[in-house]
Amino acid sequence: MAILLQTNSVPLQIISKQDSAIEPDEAAFEDYIQSKLDESKLTFKEGQEPTRFIMSRNLDYDDQQEIMSQQIKSEIKGGKIKQTANVGYMLEEVRRALIDIENPSTIPGEQHINWKRDTDGKTSKGLIALLNSAGIATELFSTRNEVLQPAKTEILKKS
């Protein structure tokens, strides 16, 4: 068996299951994710377009290192080191992976979700906070990671 690294640099275009442009259908949305974001699995409402969140497939070394350093929180309590999972790293991963937002041409500009850059060049923390409040940030995290995982059948075929 060989090791095949992910070298595809084409960004992901993720549609949220909360998007009002798609018909609510859990099974169809699961098919959309399992098919690696094949939009033909979704049913769009007449005359409506979805918002697409554009995310990098690969993060650079510094971004990966920063995210990994946030995954476990260590503190000293009673003379012992206690380590706990820190799920806040998910927001940072979305902040570093989100590179643009494609808004539907069917909605007015003042209703667009505008991608903004923070002082470090990554997505603004304010935008991530808004997406998190709407439940979209964690959905983007989960969807991106699900899509980037090799399919179990692919691993079995290569064994």
pLDDT at 73: 83
- Report the alpha-carbon distance of residue 108 to residue 121 in Å, rounded: 27
pTM: 0.86
- Other Cβ atoms closer than 10 A to 10: 7
What dihedral angle (degrees, nearest 10) is formed by the CA atoms of 92, 136, 152, 60?
A: -30
pLDDT at 153: 46
What are the 10-residue block averages of pLDDT along the chain, 159 residues in total?
A: 76 97 96 96 96 96 90 85 86 97 94 95 97 97 92 51
Nearest alpha-carbon partner for 37 in 155, 146, 152, 156: 146
pLDDT at 40: 97
pLDDT at 118: 96
What dihedral angle (degrees, nearest 10) is formed by the CA atoms of 100, 137, 107, 42?
A: 100
pLDDT at 151: 54
- Report the alpha-carbon distance of residue 33 to residue 138 in Å, rounded: 15
pLDDT at 76: 87
pLDDT at 82: 85
User: C-alpha angle with apex 23: 42 to 46, nearest 5 degrees?
Assistant: 90
